[in-house]
Amino acid sequence: MSIPTNSWEKKRVCVTGGAGFLGSYVTAKLRERGAKEIFIPRIEDYDLVRPEDIKRLLDDSRPDVIIHLAAHVGGIGANREHPAEFFYDNLMMGVQLIHQAWLRGIEKFVALGTVCAYPKFTPVPFKEDDIWDGYPEETNAPYGLAKKMLLVQSQAYREQYGFNSIFLLPVNLYGPRDNFDPRSSHVIPALIRKCLEAQDSGVEEIVVWGDGSPTREFLYVEDAAEGIVMATEKYDGSDPVNLGSGREISIKDLALLIARLTGFEGRMVFDTSKPNGQPRRALDTTRAEKYFGFRAGTDFEQGLQKTIDWYREARKR
């Protein structure tokens, strides 16, 4: 079921996680396209780990389309401290929501996976067909495997029931309104915060987890939102699809770049007692362009500068 751009005003859309970082951009993209009935469940009202709350959500929202962005997420530290919660919460949310959506005849379901689902030593760039060729990196395997089960479910429900669900695999996101909480943030907001706080306090060094050698790919959040909405509009297949920017950068180079953009002139100390995480991460993004015409459009340095500028202002409030 493709959704022409001009037909969103006729669709009722439920965006789980719509009040969050990525969700706020996805809902903005939907509104730009004319969507008028967007239901955003709040965690205070609907605990999506509970089956009865999922049923009540669908009773209340009566959606034609579900875009499932809600997730229990965090950086390496949070994944190490809460592996059971990350596995259970993400699995239960997704599996039950897909099942109930099928039971109610929802027209289309969009499930978001994670780059953490890929095997630890996947050849770079990661191709979607490599996703089953090994076990994920240990520090985030419970989270990655829970999300990967939604791919299995999506494909199984399409095969047996003809249920139209798709599965997208985004790389790590960044941008304004990201999570800057040091207990759970990912690497870009964590480094931005460390650099700015070091400047404020006159500290001459900041500590970076690991030895700096791992590589990562990052996707600007607004680009990710555009890719998700484009896939919702144009893609109706079983194959998982990567969403990325096509740029790989080492953690060391990332830290030096953020230091330059924030104006931090001190030293970088790499704490090798902390885990590196997956050795390399970079996606093959040709499938997204082929299937629904998506290519990331934001220059990495410009995206970082927008993120830094937003956080500087947010700290003043």
pLDDT digits (tens, 9 = 90+) for 210-231: 999 999 999 999 999 999 999 9
Tell whether 201 is covered by a domain. no
Q: Give the count of alpha carbons within 13 A of 9, CB side only.
A: 4
Tell whether 199 is covered by a domain. no
Tell whether 144 is covered by a domain. yes
Q: Answer yes or no: 46 catalytic.
A: no
Tell whether 33 is covered by a domain. yes
pLDDT of residue 210: 93
Asked if 71 and 17 touch (Cβ cutoff 8 Å), the reply is yes
pLDDT of residue 174: 98
Tell whether 243 is covered by a domain. yes
Band of pLDDT at residue 74, cut at 50, 70 and 90? confident
Please compute the mean of the pLDDT values over residues 143-170 and round it to a whole number.
97
pLDDT of residue 278: 84
Closest Cα partner for 148 from 177, 126, 169?
169
Q: Please give the single-letter amino acid code of residue 315.
A: R
Strand partners, 168: 112, 241
Band of pLDDT at residue 317, cut at 50, 70 and 90? confident
Q: Give the count of alpha carbons within 13 A of 202, CB side only.
A: 0
Rounded distance between C-alpha atoms, residue 280 and residue 190, angstroms: 19
Tell whether 198 is covered by a domain. no
Band of pLDDT at residue 5, cut at 50, 70 and 90? low
Band of pLDDT at residue 161, cut at 50, 70 and 90? very high
Catalytic residue among 46, 143, 235, 311: 143
Q: Which two tokens stand for residue 76?
A: 């390496």
Asked if 255 and 193 touch (Cβ cutoff 8 Å), the reply is no
Please compute the mean of the pLDDT values over residues 166-189 and round it to a whole number.
93
List, in sequence order, the alpha helices (H) in the chain: 21-32, 51-61, 76-81, 83-103, 141-161, 187-201, 221-234, 251-262, 286-292, 300-316
Q: What is the number of structural domains in the chain?
A: 1
Average pLDDT, the chain: 95
Map tokens 């249920």 to a residue: 163
Rounded distance between C-alpha atoms, residue 38 and residue 287, angstroms: 28
Please compute the mean of the pLDDT values over residues 143-161 and round it to a whole number.
97
pLDDT digits (tens, 9 = 90+) for 251-264: 999 999 999 999 99
Tell whether 182 is covered by a domain. no
Tell whether 260 is covered by a domain. no
Band of pLDDT at residue 183, cut at 50, 70 and 90? confident
Q: Give the count of alpha carbons within 13 A of 52, CB side only.
A: 0
For residue 136, cis peptide bond before it (omega within 30 degrees of 0): no
Residue 110 structural domain = 5-177+218-247+280-298
pLDDT at residue 200 is higher than 80: yes
Band of pLDDT at residue 275, cut at 50, 70 and 90? confident
Rounded distance between C-alpha atoms, residue 168 and residue 227, angstroms: 9
**CATH number of the domain where residue 89 is located:** 3.40.50.720
Map tokens 């978001």 to a residue: 112
Asked if 79 and 145 touch (Cβ cutoff 8 Å), the reply is no
Burial class (CB in 10 A: 0-12, 13-18, 19+), 270: middle
Burial class (CB in 10 A: 0-12, 13-18, 19+), 48: buried
Q: Which residues of 287-312 are buried (b: 16+ CB within 10 A; e: fewer)?
A: bbeebbebebebebeebbebbbebbe
pLDDT digits (tens, 9 = 90+) for 79-132: 788 899 999 999 999 999 999 999 999 999 999 999 999 999 999 999 999 999
